[in-house]
Structure 1
Amino acid sequence: MENGFVDCHCHISAREFEEDLEEVIQRTIEAGVQTLIAVTEEVGEFDRVLQLSDRYPGLVAPCLGLHPLQACGNLEQRSVKPEDLESALPLFYKHRDRLVAVGEIGLDFTPWCAPTAQDREDQLAVFIQQLHIAKELDLPVNVHSRSAAQVTIATMREQGVSRALLHNFAGRPSVALEAVKAGYFLSFPPAICTNQQVRNEPRNIFMSCQYIADVKGVSSQTVQQATTNNAYRLFTRARKM
């Protein structure tokens, strides 16, 4: 049995954490979190997450990936385009031995983010290409899915993806069961419970743990052990860090 939590999906390399990163990391360790599966959203984050892996060896487990939505200034977002992936492609291969997963990748068909058929086609093309990279590098994928659950799962199955985490899954239970049948994992962020904090951070994993324990009628320790073991089953390289 493992002795600590694994945060399966965190954005520790995001700009929001730059000012107080040391304090966030300290709170993370004090909360009993032993591994951070650290995802990226844009190619500009790639160097940052790798630097954090060097800075906090054994704690920060880096992933590289392009999110289906990309920043376009003034806090607005647009759908990812195939050309966004061009500069990222060589970096997946350059750092292949350091990565624990490809992510955060996926589909987001929210109407105001992907208003046109071309937006959705572009997202799907980038998603499929990153799925191919993950298979080539023998890595699991860390997946975002919003307003696109059925398409996301169907696409992964069609592409022969067998190892995946569906992060913060918001689809119907029947669709979630399709993911379970395919062998995929689903994560539960603190948003599943009443969380009044403006910004989430890894130490809040205990909220999810306690909520799941209450729903299932088991101890929080049982949930912690089961979820940590599951995390290392999926992210096998993280266990070896």
Structure 2
Amino acid sequence: MLKKDRYRAFVEYFSTHNPDAQTELNYSNPFELLVAVILSAQCTDKRINQITPALFERFPVVEALAEASIDEVFAYIRSVSYPNNKAKHLVGMAKMLVENFNGHVPETIEDLVKLPGVGRKTANVISSVVYNRPAMAVDTHVFRVSNRLGLTSRATTPLAVEKQLVKYLPEETIAVAHHWLILHGRYICLARTPKCEICPITYMCKYYETNFLKQKITRPKLKTERK
């Protein structure tokens, strides 16, 4: 299958079967989503959703978080990965929002990556989810699934994956395609043991074609009989 055909099949399938895919992080405004995404680095959405209700109740607005101590924030997020660094990032992020952006979460990638704890992936999430911009956030799921499906080729960095996906996906699908790839990687195309036996898109998958389909159609050679 040619790359353009894979992209077409990918968009057609998910546009039909999961057209309104969304983040699984719980939030009610851009500030809460930014906090949740910063916390979610190398941690599960399930864990983040368990600790953010109390965190948001204590710090309901960015000004409250900006005035908090790092130790106080740490007490609310101690169960996530790298809580010390993330507590520092959250307080620093909130202070910068108040001082430089009038307490509002900025729209552009360039402004977002200035915030403590915000890398390109987090910035792309905010840009696409909050502001519906055609930004592709590449995490481990997106990296793995796009490579296995054959949507990307020879892309060894998240930025290279991002550039290829943005280049070939229809612009209006880029934001939701991020969630298609994440959810497929989270529940079916697992890192160690992909569930190819129940995957509905093996017909477009380069990984399946290479590792399973070709094995099935290749017949073992017959041993030459002795005379």
Mark yes or no: TM-score above 0.5. no
Q: Choose 1 or 2 for highest CA Rg.
A: 2
TM-score, with length taken from structure 2? 0.31
Structure with a larger share of its residues in strand: 1
Q: Which has the higher helix share?
A: 2
